[in-house]
Amino acid sequence: MKPAPFAYHRPTTLDEALATLAADPHAKVLAGGQSLVPLLSMRLARPSALVDLNGLPGLDTIEVSEAGVRVGALARHAEVLASAEVRRSQPLVSLALGHVAHATIRNRGTTVGSLVHADAAAEMPVVLTLLGGSVEAASVRGRRTIAAADLFLGPLESSLAPDEIALSAFFPALPAGAGVAFEEIARRHGDYALCGVAALADGESVRAGFVSVSDVPTVVDLTGVPAGERGEAALAQLDPQGDIHATATYRSELVRVLTERVVQSAMESRQARSPEDS
């Protein structure tokens, strides 16, 4: 199938892009196109116009500071994954990105686009939520910071307004002495996960985030829960559903097994992480 007709804009300044979006409530932002173009081709999305961000200067940045990692709207998954500085500051970002799609898709798809797309089967929304990160958005009305906890409203639904552009995402650095881990099960490498788990162990605090298990990224507090009981404790706070990819029973079993394994590995990496890594 071919997309329904749409106008195409390729602005060269942010102001022009924001004004174009403000003038047409049915226009959509185009970043890497790896999720939007398939939706257009299947006619599941029929925007009146596309506002292509790829001509805008200064959005392809990856900035690493003591506070964490700021990824610009045009930084590709592959560039973020390749950054040794990112891996040092917040290893969970790199661990999870290694599971995002295939290399060709990572070369074009953007990490910020993945967050705005708000797919609960995607890795990065869960990572942002678990780490307590945020997204910086702009519109003709001004700029605002949206905390991860307020970003994901439902399946493929973020709290970004139709006329807003997400300029960057911020992933807080891993605190000294903390540990992280990520693992997922997919039918083939590069497929969306049937179930994925990210874990953050920081001092006594232990939390885990789940991919493909609920409609929005969900984080469960497992502080104080002993090994062997973590999978069941996580499951008690989740309600995995069945779909064409996996039954609810199988997905629940993946939650049990992966939670135990990933939390254990985050706790071990906490001990293994040397002070120079932080």
Binding residue for ligand FAD, selected from 11, 68, 109, 231, defined by CB under 6 A: 109
Using the contact rule CB under 6 A, the part of the chain among 11-19, 33-41, 81-89, 269-277 near ligand FAD is 33-41
User: Which contiguous run of DSSP H or E holds residue 144?
Assistant: strand 142-147
Residues contacting ligand FAD: total by CB under 6 A: 29
The answer to whether the beta carbons of residues 73 and 33 sit under 8 Å apart is no
Q: Which one of the spans 23-31, 85-93, 175-183, 232-240 is the region binding ligand FAD (CB under 6 A)?
A: 23-31
Binding mask 215-254 for ligand FAD (x = CB under 6 A): ----------------------------------------
- Rounded to the nearest 5°, which phi and psi values hold at 133? -80, -165
If the CB atoms of residues 68 and 109 are measured against ligand FAD, the closer one turns out to be 109
Residues 163-192 that bind ligand FAD (CB under 6 A): 165-166, 192
Token pair in block for residue 256: 């049990």
Segment near ligand FAD (CB under 6 A), from 3-11, 24-32, 139-147, 228-236? 24-32
Give the integer Cα–Cα distance in Å for 199 and 15. Answer: 39
Which lies closer to ligand FAD via its Cβ, residue 159 or residue 237? Answer: 159
- For ligand FAD, which residue has the nearest CB? 109
Euclidean distance between CA atoms 179 and 170, whole angstroms = 19
At residue 11, what is the residue type? Answer: P
**CA 113, CA 166: separation in Å to the nearest integer?**
8
Round to whole Å and give the CA distance between 147 and 152: 10
Cβ–Cβ under 8 Å, residues 199 and 265: yes
**Does residue 270 belong to the site contacting ligand FAD (CB under 6 A)?**
no
Side-chain-side CA neighbours of residue 124 (13 Å)? 28
What does the per-residue mask of binding to ligand FAD show for 35-54, with x meaning CB under 6 A?
Answer: xx-x--------------x-
Instruction: Report the C-alpha gap between 25 and 121 in whole angstroms.
Output: 27
Residue 33 binding ligand FAD, by CB under 6 A: yes
Residue numbers at the binding site for ligand FAD (CB under 6 A): 28-36, 38, 53, 73, 100-101, 105, 109-110, 112-114, 116-117, 122-124, 160, 165-166, 192
